């Protein structure tokens, strides 16, 4: 069973794997821990991760990046509109205000949803795991981390994407919770369970947003006290700020506007990210130089850390406010009660972040956690806790949900109504019962009660039709208990609805008792009348769910499988082409050098000619041939080249094999001569056995000399007379005959004869020994 944790960032993804020695973040096919959250589509197949990101400038209209915050959103959502400009391909509005991403795939226009793009990325991550971990044949179970502020519809969208990719989600965990888990489970110095907890603040400055969490730790458990976030503070917004600065500078300096052309605009964003990272480590001005930027013009500029900090002051203030928002009036913990502040996320390396933390808390932030991998490690640890294949020390997680959820109902009964069933910071997973008086089928609606604090324009969570409710025998309303639940994935649902219906049941009366309270079992049994009572009997009602966005999992899963099949076919074809190309290059050089003595000049010339024509074909008609065509051509080349390679390898290994066999025969001959000369080492051996030894020596020596002579008179360009494998087999057969004979141990020396004790004369009685008694 795979035990995996996926951190899907807006910029990069990380894969955490649980091992017996702990959590490991594995590398991808480019030996990097970070896999870009990038998917591109081409005329033959898809590419994801590093390959897609590296080719973005040449395939910009069909490459999708920065799509994380489009998942589970509508096109008109203000948050979606903020991120769409950072996606280089075309993003369109679909029916029902859904988001569509238009690309050219297999030379045809296609429109994909953000959930399909996420599924493609998850497929890539799964392939990385299966290729990098030899002990994992097929990946299925995983835990995926999402921002703590993701709403119900976004979490459902993520779960659907996981299913599209053919994976099984054990849990969708909050990124803030994953970080806290990765911190707490290894700490040995946490307060005891009944002691005052240790309060820790985690500040995660990611690429697209900033999250903060206030967590209380005791030994073996954590409690999420509060979380806060800002969707306009993060690495992308710093990069965009620097880019806008240079856009204005280049417009006035060179008369070009990078924002008018997608390719230079994206290229400038990448360069600004590099400048930002270098400014974090240097106070000197950092240069920005781009050749042939636009209109064949080279551009240059520079920025210093102090200038950047002044420029980004509004974003730094937003990050500070995220920390302040943790300590609301209804939170009993104050900043002075915080013992540690851990900072994670790529942009937490900016020096100003440390200064903000120190000003607010009066202490330096800590960086004991891996700033890039903390979320993936926590997600993998959660997967290990849920997995039956790992034994993990007990660690309780008391998570919370961030929004107020209101339930409303209508239909036959005691009129309609509404009630808040979950408040911000309520523990999850958790279930609650709502009691209603109903006389017929009714509908329950759930929505977020405070739309202004929910970062989503879809505040309606879902509707549930409850069938089977009916009036009581007297026509009155009956009690119905509706069980509402926020599950471990953070998804709200109506778990069940139960009606309590009065029914008349018959019961036997209690047995009569004596004065002392005991029953009189000796009293004659008399027929007694049954007593009728009214009891409330639970009746399970049918609940039909209707959510705002329904995902056709089967349809999109099938589409993903079809694209995976195309990818696999194209990869096999590319591998076959690469194998043919590599063979051509390898043999072309070696035939003239390393293998020159093992092929006739005429054959070598013909072979080089075929190799050259194959190379020309590869870059002309064979540029896009089928897999079997490449394999056939490779097979034809190997029919000529393999015997040459074989003759070379045999030549290299045959002489050492001959020499080793010769040495073995020589050693055995010396042993036989020692026996023949009466030496003590083998004097114990039987003459017939030693006759077998000398016969084997003579026989194998004759074979060896003849084989060596035949081979030495054979041209190097001809097939070998004898192969190294045959020489080794002859040597083994020879040693199997002689070694068992020569290794026989000498027989043990006979034991000295025992001295005979004198026997007592007839009639004499043996004397008793100490401790014995004679019995007459």
How many domains does the chain fold into? 3
pLDDT at 522: 56
Average pLDDT, the chain: 92
Q: For residues 216 and 93, state if they share a domain.
A: yes
Q: Does residue 420 lie in a domain region?
A: yes
- Domain shared by 619 and 601, yes or no: yes
- Segment 49-76, tens digit of pLDDT: 999 999 999 999 999 999 999 999 999 9
Average pLDDT over residues 565-593: 94
> 133-142, 291-300, 583-592, 617-626: which range is least confident on average?
133-142
Between 525 and 361, the more confident residue is: 361
How far is C-alpha 91 from the geometric centre of its chain's CA atoms? 29
Q: Is the pLDDT of residue 254 over 90?
A: yes
On whether both 542 and 563 belong to a single domain, the answer is: no
CATH number (domain holding residue 682): 1.20.1270.10
Task: Compute the average pLDDT of residues 737-760.
Answer: 76
CATH of the domain at 81: 3.30.420.40
User: 176 and 204: one domain?
Assistant: yes
Please give the pLDDT value at position 137: 74
Does 246 reside within a domain?
no
For residue 27, pLDDT over 70 is answered with: yes
Q: Please, what's the b/e burial string for 698-737 (b: 16 or more CB within 10 A of its CB; e: otherwise)?
A: eebbeebeebbeebeeeeeeeebbbbbeebeebbeebbeb
Task: Give the closest residue to 411 by CA, choosing from 459, 463, 489.
Answer: 463
Look up residue 413 and give its DSSP letter.
Answer: B
Co-location of 490 and 590 in the same domain: no
Comparison of pLDDT for 545 and 414, the residue scoring more: 545
> Is residue 380 domain-shared with residue 447, that is, in the same domain?
no
Quote the pLDDT of residue 607. 95
Q: Say whether pLDDT at 521 is over 60.
A: no
Q: CB neighbours of 146 closer than 8 A, spacing ≥ 6? A: 8, 154, 155, 158, 172, 173, 174, 175
Report whether pLDDT(395) > 60: yes
Whether residue 78 lies inside any domain: the answer is yes
Kindly report, residue by residue over 755-775, the tens digit of the pLDDT: 665 555 544 544 444 444 343
Residue 749 domain-assigned?
no
Residue 466 is part of a domain; what is its CATH number?
2.60.34.10
**For residue 770, what pLDDT is reported?**
41
What would the pLDDT profile of 670-690 be if each residue is shown by its tens digit?
Answer: 999 999 998 888 888 888 999
Task: Looking at the structure, tell me whether residues 556 and 542 fall in a common domain.
Answer: no
3-state secondary structure at position 665? helix
In a domain, 147, yes or no: yes
CA-based nearest residue to 38, from 23, 15, 60, 16: 60
**Are 583 and 628 members of one domain?**
yes
Annotate 341-383 with three-state secondary structure.
Answer: EEEECHHHHCHHHHHHHHHHHCCCCECCCCCCCHHHHHHHHHH
What domain range is 421 assigned to? 403-506+538-546
pLDDT of the residue at 515? 54
One domain, residues 133 and 227: yes
Q: Are residues 377 and 421 in the same domain?
A: no
User: Does 23 share its domain with 108?
Assistant: yes
Domain assignment present for 424: yes
On whether residue 586 sits in a domain, the answer given is: yes
**pLDDT digit string, tens, across residues 272-300:** 999 999 999 999 999 999 999 999 999 99
pLDDT band of residue 19 (cuts 50, 70, 90) is confident
Tell me what percent of the residues of the chain surpass a pLDDT of 90. 82
| 114 and 167 share one domain | yes
> Mean of the pLDDT values across residues 644-661?
95
Q: How many CB atoms lie within 10 A of CB 478?
A: 21
pLDDT at position 504, please? 78
Q: Is residue 650 part of a domain?
A: yes
HSE (CB half, 13 Å, CA atoms) of 714? 18
Residue whose C-alpha is closest to residue 120's, from 37, 196, 198: 37
pLDDT at 608: 94
Distance CA 76, CA 203 (A): 30
């Amino acid at each position: 069973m795979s035990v995996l944790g996926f951190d899907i960032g807006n910029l990069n993804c990380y894969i955490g794997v649980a091992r017996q020695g702990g959590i490991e973040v594995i590398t991808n096919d480019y030996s990097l821990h970070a896999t870009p959250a990038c998917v591109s589509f081409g005329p033959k197949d898809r590419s994801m991760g590093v390959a897609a990101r590296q080719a973005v400038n040449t395939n910009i209209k069909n490459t999708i990046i920065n799509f994380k915050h489009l998942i589970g959103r509508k096109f008109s959502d203000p948050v979606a509109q903020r991120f769409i400009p950072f996606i280089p391909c075309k993003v369109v509005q679909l029916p029902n205000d859904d988001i569509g991403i238009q690309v050219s795939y297999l030379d045809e226009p296609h429109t994909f949803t953000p959930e399909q793009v996420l599924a493609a990325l998850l497929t890539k991550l799964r392939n990385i795991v299966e290729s990098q971990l030899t002990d994992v044949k097929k990946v299925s179970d995983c835990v995926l981390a999402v921002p703590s502020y993701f709403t119900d519809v976004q979490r459902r969208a993520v779960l659907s994407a996981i299913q599209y990719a053919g994976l099984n989600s054990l849990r969708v965990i909050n990124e803030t919770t994953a970080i806290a888990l990765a911190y707490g489970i290894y700490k040995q110095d946490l307060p005891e369970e009944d002691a005052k907890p240790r309060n820790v603040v985690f500040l995660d400055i990611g690429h697209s947003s900033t999250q903060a969490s206030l967590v209380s730790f005791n030994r073996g458990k954590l409690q999420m006290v509060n979380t806060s976030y800002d969707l306009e503070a993060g690495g992308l917004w710093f990069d965009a700020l620097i880019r806008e600065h240079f856009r204005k500078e280049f417009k006035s300096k060179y008369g070009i506007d990078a924002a008018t052309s997608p390719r230079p605009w994206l290229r400038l964003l990448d360069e600004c990210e590099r400048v930002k990272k270098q400014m974090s480590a240097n106070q000197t001005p950092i240069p920005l130089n781009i050749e042939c930027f636009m209109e064949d013009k080279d551009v240059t500029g520079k920025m210093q850390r102090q200038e950047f900090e002044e420029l980004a002051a509004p974003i730094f203030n937003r990050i500070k406010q995220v920390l302040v928002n943790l300590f609301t009036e209804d939170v009993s913990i104050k900043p002075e009660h915080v013992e540690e502040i851990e900072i994670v996320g790529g942009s937490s390396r900016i020096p100003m972040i440390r200064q903000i933390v120190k000003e607010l808390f009066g202490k330096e932030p800590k960086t004991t956690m891996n700033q890039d991998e903390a979320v993936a490690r926590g997600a993998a640890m959660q997967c290990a806790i849920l997995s039956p294949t790992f034994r993990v020390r007990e660690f309780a997680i008391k998570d919370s949900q961030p929004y107020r959820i209101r339930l409303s109902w209508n239909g036959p009964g005691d009129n309609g109504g509404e009630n808040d069933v979950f408040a911000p910071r309520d523990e999850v997973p958790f279930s609650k019962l709502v009691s209603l008086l109903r006389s017929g089928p009714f509908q329950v609606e759930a929505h977020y009660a405070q739309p202004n604090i929910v970062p989503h324009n879809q505040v309606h969570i879902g509707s549930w039709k409850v069938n089977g409710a009916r009036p009581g025998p007297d026509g009155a309303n009956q009690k119905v208990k509706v069980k509402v639940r926020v599950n471990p994935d953070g998804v709200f649902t109506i778990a069940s609805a139960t009606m309590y219906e009065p029914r008349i049941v018959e019961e036997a009366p209690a047995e009569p008792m004596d004065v002392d309270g005991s029953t009189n079992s000796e009293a004659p049994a008399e027929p007694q009348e049954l007593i009728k009572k009214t009891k409330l009997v639970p009746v399970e009602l049918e609940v039909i769910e209707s959510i705002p966005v329904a995902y056709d999992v089967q349809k999109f899963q099938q589409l993903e499988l079809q694209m995976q099949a195309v990818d696999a076919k194209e990869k096999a074809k590319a591998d076959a082409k690469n194998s043919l190309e590599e063979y051509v290059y390898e043999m072309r050089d070696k035939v003239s050098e390393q293998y020159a003595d093992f092929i006739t000049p005429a054959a070598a010339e013909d072979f080089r000619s075929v190799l050259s024509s194959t190379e020309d074909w590869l870059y002309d008609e064979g540029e896009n041939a089928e897999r079997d065509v490449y394999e056939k051509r490779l097979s034809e080349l190997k029919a000529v080249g393999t015997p040459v390679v074989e003759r070379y390898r045999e030549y290299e290994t045959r002489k050492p094999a001959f020499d080793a066999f010769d040495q073995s025969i020589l050693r055995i001959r010396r042993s036989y001569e020692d026996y023949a000369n009466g030496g003590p080492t083998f004097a114990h051996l039987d003459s017939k056995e030693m006759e077998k030894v000398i016969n084997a020596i003579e026989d194998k020596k004759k074979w060896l000399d003849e084989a060596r002579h035949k081979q030495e008179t054979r041209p190097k360009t001809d097939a070998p007379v004898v192969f190294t494998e045959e020489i080794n087999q002859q040597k083994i057969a020879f040693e199997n005959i002689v070694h068992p004979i020569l290794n026989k141990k000498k027989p043990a020396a006979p034991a000295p004869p025992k001295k005979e004790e004198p026997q007592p004369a007839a009639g004499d009685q043996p004397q008793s020994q100490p401790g014995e008694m004679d019995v007459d």
